[in-house]
Amino acid sequence: MTTFMSSPSRPSGDLALTLAALGWHVFPLSARDKRPLANCLDCRDNPECARDDYTACPCLPDGQWCHGVRAATTDPDRIRTWWRRQPAAVPAVAAGPSDLVLIDLDAHTDQLPADPATELLPGTPITPGDLPGGFDQIRTGRDVLLLLARIRGGNHPWPSDPVHRPVSVVTPSRGRHLWYRAPRTDGGRRLRQALGTLGWQIDIKAGWSYGIAPGATTAKGPYQVVTGDPAHVGRMPDWLADEVLRVATDRPVPPPAPAPAAPPASGGRPAAYLTTVIDNGAAELAALADGRQRALSALAYKVGGLLSWSGLNRGDVEDRLVDAGLASGLPQRLTRRIVHRALTNGLARPLAGPTRHASTAVR
């Protein structure tokens, strides 16, 4: 554990090898933009590689890094080869293959959602007794997870006892990554859904979703392990496992959001609304077995229509959509092309934002 906490300048390849030896499945990200390294030219032109499952791609059995998270491995020879070719690559960890779940607690300076009582923890109403100090004390995903612990009557979300202690990482943006052993679903099935939102600024990454490796350093700074041991990753407290299973196992596809109507009443926090649309769309995308290209295109088109109204920056939104596509396993070049085209088309047909009532119904 101390090695993870005290060697910020460790070469990326060594970190990848160390984690792989502990059963963490790793793959390389570009040091420049923290996205998976590009596929080879053969994959670009191979129609089989545009399929959703990549089973026909010859590069994966051949040990190439094509298709990002799908290439994740614990094979030290493969990892040595990758980092010999790209010594600056940032190691990422594929959650599901490593039998891990990442709880990603953001610390954005976003405004609170329009209706915090129902939107901070969708599906879990918050009563005044849960939060005696009022909503003003909620700033980050960390605050929301602590609130959820209180509502569920559970113990601390990241306990210090070795059985339950996650690998806890402070990110360069002052967020927190909590890596836990994946909880068992009924019947021992693996978590199916790659992404889920447990609450405001709390994302769940499981299955074919991934996170920057604990101990890695990017251009923005270190992902510093503050507690926990990658060799002995703790289990979630039961209350937290129940919550994660609730949002990260198969669930019925939610009904479509109501059609946008009048402009927002009282300012309506359009940026937060559109961010929620993207996050929920990303979660649904990750849950699809097929049809992801079409779903990504539809999402980007809708987001494009709401972009001017939201006041969000196009570049940021495009990045988020590309991340959603990549996290669902779509290949990089295809993802960028779909997002760019659909977002541009959507922007050309602007929509009015929803009413406040509609915004609380988005799931």
Q: For binding to Zn ion (CB under 5 A), which residues are involved?
A: 39-40, 43, 49, 57, 59, 64, 66
Which one, 63 or 159, has the nearer CB to Zn ion? 63
Measure the CA–CA gap between 113 and 108, rounded to whole angstroms.
13
Q: How far is the CB of 292 from Zn ion (least distance, A)?
A: 16
CB of 218 to Zn ion, least distance (A): 25
Q: 36: which 2 tokens?
A: 């998976």
Minimum distance, C-beta of residue 324 to Zn ion, in the bound complex (Å): 20
Q: How far is the CB of 325 from Zn ion (least distance, A)?
A: 16
d(CA 352, CA 208): 35
Listed residue (273, 284, 248) closest to 104, CA to CA: 248
- Report the residue number, 64 or 74, with the smaller CB distance to Zn ion: 64
**Cβ distance to Zn ion smaller for residue 179 or 208:** 208
> Judged by CB, which is closer to Zn ion: 59, or 182?
59
Q: Minimum distance from CB of 64 to Zn ion (Å)?
A: 5
Token digits for 174? 């002052």
Is 63 or 172 the residue whose CB approaches Zn ion more closely? 63
Long-range pairs, 329-332, Cβ under 8 A, ≥24: 329/52, 329/54, 329/67, 329/68, 329/69, 329/70, 329/194, 329/208, 329/292, 330/52, 330/292, 330/293, 330/296, 331/39, 331/43, 331/49, 331/50, 331/67, 332/35, 332/36, 332/38, 332/39, 332/68
Q: Pick the closest to residue 31 from 1, 57, 48, 11 (CA basis).
A: 11
Nearer Cβ to Zn ion (18/39): 39
Q: How far is the CB of 207 from Zn ion (least distance, A)?
A: 20
The sign of the CA dihedral 59, 90, 323, 73 is: positive
